[in-house]
Structure 1
Amino acid sequence: MNSLLDMYAKCGCMDDGFQVFSRFHDKDVVTWTTIISGYARQGLDDKAFQLLEEMRREGVNPDKFAFMCVLKACASVKSLEKGRLIHVYVVQSGLELDAFMVSTLVDFYSKCGHLTDARHAFDSIIDHDVVSWTAMLVAYAKHGCGQEALELMGKMLDSGVKLNHVTLLGVLSACSHSGMLEEGQYMFDIMKQKSMVTKTAEHYACMIDLLTRAGCLEAAEQLLTDLPFEPNVSMWLALLRSCIICGNRDLAKHAAEHVLKLEPGNEVAFVLLSNVCANGASGIACDVMQDDDWLSVNQLQVG
């Protein structure tokens, strides 16, 4: 019966799953956790939270997985009050806070905009692994706290924990949103030299975003040219946006050509090019776009 319930929950058939759940007479922690996680995955935080409280009233003690599932659902809808209550439940239950549980709390508080509470949750344990370190780094990145992210990464490396590709992505993102060009460039280069992390398209995209935000368009173009793989649309779009802001028409034309070559119907590129035209750079768009493209731009503007 638990397996049947798990199947319905993972397939998102929660009405069918709840019918199976309702037929249980002796629901154990697996039964409750399965139905709760099913509703949580569907983003139904109210129902997941309601079942969690019902589970506790029935005398079945939730495990860490049940708490984490509901916390993640609360984070997705930024339900601060419910998430705080779950945090209280975790403490009252006497469950040991491990790195995974703390990471979930950090992510929850960060998404709700309470970075101080996220840091308090992070500091509540001593033995951190790469998951908990990265969760706090990503939280700082989302809030544009580049300096704090760099300081935390220094402590992480001093502790002997090796960073992974998500950790580096979080630091680069933090530097990008904080305008810390030199620091971001240093982190990217040192990781490349020491081969500590295998660079992915996401790392390069973040570095291109950092360079374009700082107005270093030629450096961003050079990085795109030197990529060990084919640049994707998002990379060229980042360059295109910055070219328009900085008024670099020639480079904007070059970036737009690559975007429309990869995705001929890319609506974002059309809109950006129409903005170029509005700013008196119609020559760029005329060179790049065909008659059918202009029709698409006009339709988007009318919409």
Structure 2
Amino acid sequence: MMVRSGVKPDPNTYTYLVNHLCKRGNVGYAMQLVEKMEEYGYPTNMVTCNSLVKGLCMRGNLNKSLQFLDRLRKRGLEPDAFTYSFLLEAAYKKKGVDEAMKLLDEIIAKGGKPNLVSYNIILTGLCKAARTEESISFFWNLPEEGFYPNVVTYNTLLRALCWEGLLKEAYELLAKMDDKNYVTYNILVSWLALQGLVDDAFEVLEEMTRAGFKPTGVTYNPIIAHLCKEGKVDEVMKCLDRMMSEQCHPNQGTYNAMAVLCEDGKVLEAFSLFQSLCNSRTYSSLLRGLCSDGMPDAAIEIFKAMEENDVRPDVGHCNAMILGLCKSNRTDLSLHIFEMMVEKGYKPNQMTYALIVEGIALEGETELAVILLEELYERKALSENTVEMLVTQYDLESFPAFQYGTSSRGKEVLPWM
């Protein structure tokens, strides 16, 4: 349109459009745009090409990416280090680290010049495949390839050594690190906590702080998880106090770690910990998160403990539970929570009903969802807009049972007030 109207887009505009289309997953349109622009006399540059290569790789089209690069080479365009990194990551994720290493050899054989990022991708692949000896050899051979490891390279190998239990090698590697970062310390704390070496983990925390890095919930969570598994509630409380004094806020991982106490029958202890951290809003996040992360029983125990300890849940907390349970395909439990709401005098709102319908539809009980939807609409529990949204989203209109206000069977689905 710009070209036809006589306005010439500059290379930046052209590249921006291609990049935007690729980010939205419209790689086909982006390639058509490139072809059209070339017809209008606008040559493709490597920045634009990299957007296309990255877009194709993200969609899993590695072969198309390689074919596209062959066409570029014939036109005199040479891939750069960014191009190679996109290709190698795609090769590793789609075909495994051996194929990625083979591709790296081909790139070098054709005169390509990958950078350290490309080698870090290969190292990550070797480490994740638990090929530790190869990982170590690959790491120490990097200078022969003209590269010196950076903090990302060191952290990648350090994590692998720790998780393989190679403590001596991990500390030797650590001694050679000139620059540690936040991730380095988190790796060490996590591994030490996993081994039950909590005092050592705290020593690393002290070193981390002295080095100018502020611990976060991610740093503390492995320690809290271990202490909870050991049932050391007092130690957990001290750890939480320390976090709060450092203005380090708990996250969902912290809550999940503490919820382990529920699984060991220590519901009141878990609740007392949550109570020291949570307000009304964070209780909703806690309950929803526990359900979504596969801990619905712990969520229900905390929900019950809230009621028993004068922290009366509100409709928002109930909705959070229902949402989390539906997302984890436990609609049976979400219906149990709904029944509990009604029995205890809570008044479900439009969101409550919509979540129940969504949960039933997500579990494939589409006809039941239709019946319930009809009854809810008839009782004016759901607005027409909400009904239409649910019908469209879950293709409920394809069922002949769906006619606004005609159902007589929905009464069997939920207990009504």
What TM-score comes out, normalization by structure 1 length? 0.72
Aligned equivalents of 2:15 and 2:279: distance in 1? 54
Verify: 1:238 aligned to 2:243, yes or no.
Answer: no
Higher relative contact order (CA 8 A, sep 6+): 1
Q: Which has the larger radius of gyration?
A: 2
> Shift in Å at residue 142 of structure 1?
5.1
Matches within 5 A, 1:71-110: 71-75=53-57, 78-81=58-61, 83-94=62-73, 95-110=77-92
Letter aligned with residue 215 of structure 2: P
Question: Per the alignment, do residues 84 and 157 of structure 1 end up closer, same or farther by CA in structure 2, a change over 3 Å counting?
Answer: same
Aligned equivalents of 1:266 and 1:136: distance in 2? 32
Letter aligned with residue 46 of structure 2: K
Matches within 5 A, 1:1-303: 20=2, 23=5, 32-52=14-34, 62-75=44-57, 78-81=58-61, 83-94=62-73, 95-112=77-94, 114-123=96-105, 124-125=107-108, 127-141=113-127, 143-176=129-162, 178-191=164-177, 195=178, 198-227=179-208, 228=210, 229=212, 230-245=214-229, 251-259=235-243, 262-263=247-248, 266-281=251-266, 285=270, 288-290=273-275, 293=278, 296=283, 299-300=287-288, 301=299, 303=321
> Shift in Å at residue 282 of structure 1?
5.2
> Shift in Å at residue 86 of structure 1?
1.5
C-alpha RMSD of the superposition: 3.7
> Shift in Å at residue 147 of structure 1?
3.6
Query: Tell me, what secondary structure is at the counterpart of 1:163?
Result: coil
| Larger displacement relative to structure 2 (176-185 or 112-121) | 176-185
What TM-score comes out, normalization by structure 2 length? 0.55
| Larger displacement relative to structure 2 (61-70 or 277-286) | 277-286
Q: How many residue pairs end up in the alignment? A: 277
> Shift in Å at residue 233 of structure 1?
1.8
Q: Which runs of 5+ in 2 are unaligned?
A: 289-298, 301-320, 322-417
Q: Percent identity?
A: 18
> Shift in Å at residue 204 of structure 1?
1.0
> Shift in Å at residue 189 of structure 1?
2.3
Q: Which runs of 5+ in 1 are unaligned?
A: 1-18
For residues 244-287 of structure 1, the C-alpha deviation after alignment (integer angstroms, 9 at most, x for no partner) is 45666565444344445535563432332232133144575466
Question: Per the alignment, do residues 212 and 23 of structure 1 end up closer, same or farther by CA in structure 2, a change over 3 Å counting?
Answer: farther
For residues 227-256 of structure 1, the C-alpha deviation after alignment (integer angstroms, 9 at most, x for no partner) is 223422210012223444566656544434
